[in-house]
């Protein structure tokens, strides 16, 4: 396979995902969708269609293949490593008040939408099922670590562990993973009409979520950006994915395993980081800038990353 064909295959994977993001930008500019639509659609995705997608992908999966314990453990420890590395950098390079937001933006990825969409595009049902399990693990880490680092640097804030544990326990995505495991382990089959209806409903998830991401990007917010946002974005989209992916390869991960890890490591900053920053009275402009920059950078950085990994024969 020559370089042109290899790059073309890479674009076949990434362009459909990021095309939906840019369609969201266009629809917002044409005023075919507005803030109320984005708010309602995002809530529908988070509370209903994405949990359905995760549940169905897991009950269809071969748990012996999807439940990859070494993969899950490496992903968890790599996420912790990314968190502490970005925090260490922030202590020396970022103003005190912005450190928590910088760290959250640098390590908290949008695996639930962008990661899963790319995983499905590259690896089909395996990508969805194994990616859903990765998502279940990392949601807990993201919430715990984000609350911790934000509370350290936001004046007057304390870590409300009880509320955080309640949010984790009632997270629809975690619940969908837990509900799906016994169905898969015991080979319980649902009626065909339930599966078909569920597939129709779940198919709304990725296009709707990606359109909402595009619609929330703000040119005004980007114009007010500064060096901290750019630094956090480069950490999120280039430095940490490169270090983590090379480390995974060095430990023996390759093929779909390594590809899946890279896609989750390289996903842009999650929109939930803005919500958490706002709830803790942080610098919401900085949080919004990081989300916007990483989302725009992702179309280039993820495409280039996949191309280089395929060129090296690692995935």
**Per-residue pLDDT tens digits for 86-140:** 999 999 999 988 999 999 999 999 988 899 899 989 998 899 889 988 988 888 8
- Judge whether residue 230 has pLDDT over 90: yes
Q: Residue 76: its pLDDT value, please? A: 96
Q: What dihedral angle (degrees, nearest 10) is formed by the CA atoms of 108, 111, 112, 116?
A: 180
Q: Residue 64: its pLDDT value, please? A: 76
Task: Name which of 18, 52, 76, 72 is nearest 210 in CA terms.
Answer: 18
- Judge whether residue 308 has pLDDT over 90: yes
C-alpha to C-alpha distance for 143 and 25, rounded to whole angstroms: 28
Report phi then psi at 2, rounded to 5: -80, 175
* 255-288 residue pLDDT tens: 999 999 999 999 999 888 887 887 778 888 888 8
- Judge whether residue 163 has pLDDT over 80: no
C-alpha to C-alpha distance for 272 and 287, rounded to whole angstroms: 10
- Judge whether residue 78 has pLDDT over 80: yes
pLDDT category at 79 given cuts 50, 70, 90 is very high
> Reduced to 3 states, what is the DSSP secondary structure of residue 64?
helix
Average pLDDT, the chain: 89
Q: Residue 107: its pLDDT value, please? A: 96
How many residues are present in the chain? 315
What angle separates helix 3-29 from helix 284-312, to the nearest 10 degrees?
Answer: 160
Per DSSP, the residues of 163-188 read: HHHHHHHT-HHHHHHHHHHHHHHTTP
Q: Residue 284: its pLDDT value, please? A: 83
Question: Which of 175-184, 267-276, 292-301 is modeled with the greatest confidence?
Answer: 292-301
* 40-56 residue pLDDT tens: 998 899 889 999 998 99
> Reduced to 3 states, what is the DSSP secondary structure of residue 269?
strand
Q: State the CB neighbour count (10 A cutoff) for residue 217.
A: 19
155 or 21, which is more confident = 21
Q: What is the CA radius of gyration of the chain?
A: 19
* 190-222 residue pLDDT tens: 999 999 999 999 999 989 999 998 888 776 666
- Judge whether residue 304 has pLDDT over 70: yes
Contact (Cβ atoms closer than 8 angstroms) between residue 66 and residue 58: yes
pLDDT category at 156 given cuts 50, 70, 90 is low
How far is the CA of 9 from the CAs of 4, 69, 122, 225, in angstroms? 9, 30, 10, 34
């Amino acid at each position: 396979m020559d370089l042109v064909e290899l790059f073309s295959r890479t674009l076949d994977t990434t362009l459909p995902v990021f095309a939906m993001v840019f369609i969201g930008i266009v629809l917002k500019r044409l005023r075919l969708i507005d803030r109320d639509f984005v708010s309602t659609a995002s809530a529908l995705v988070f509370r209903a269609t994405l949990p359905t997608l995760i549940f169905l992908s897991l009950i269809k999966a071969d748990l012996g293949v999807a439940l990859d314990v070494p993969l899950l453990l490496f992903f968890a420890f790599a996420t912790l490593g990314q968190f502490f590395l970005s925090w260490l950098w922030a202590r020396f390079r970022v103003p005190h008040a912005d450190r928590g937001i910088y760290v959250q933006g640098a390590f908290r990825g949008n695996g639930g939408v962008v990661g899963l969409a790319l995983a499905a595009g590259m690896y089909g049902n395996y990508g969805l099922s194994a990616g859903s399990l990765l998502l279940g693990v990392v949601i807990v880490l993201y919430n715990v670590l984000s609350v911790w680092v934000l509370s350290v640097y936001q004046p007057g804030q304390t870590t409300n562990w009880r509320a955080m544990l309640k949010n984790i326990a009632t997270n629809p995505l975690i619940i969908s993973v837990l509900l799906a495991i016994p169905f898969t382990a015991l080979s319980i089959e649902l009626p065909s009409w339930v599966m078909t209806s569920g597939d129709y409903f779940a198919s709304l998830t990725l296009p709707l979520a990606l359109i909402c991401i595009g619609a929330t990007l703000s040119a005004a917010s980007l114009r007010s950006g500064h060096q901290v946002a750019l630094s956090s974005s480069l950490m999120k989209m280039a430095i940490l994915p490169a270090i983590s992916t090379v480390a995974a390869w060095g430990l023996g991960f390759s093929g779909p395993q390594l590809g899946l890890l890279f896609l989750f490591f390289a996903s842009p900053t999650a929109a939930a980081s803005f919500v958490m920053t706002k709830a803790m009275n942080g610098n919401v402009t900085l949080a919004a800038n990081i989300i916007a920059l990483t989302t725009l950078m992702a179309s280039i950085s993820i495409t280039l990353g996949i191309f280089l990994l395929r060129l090296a024969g690692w995935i």
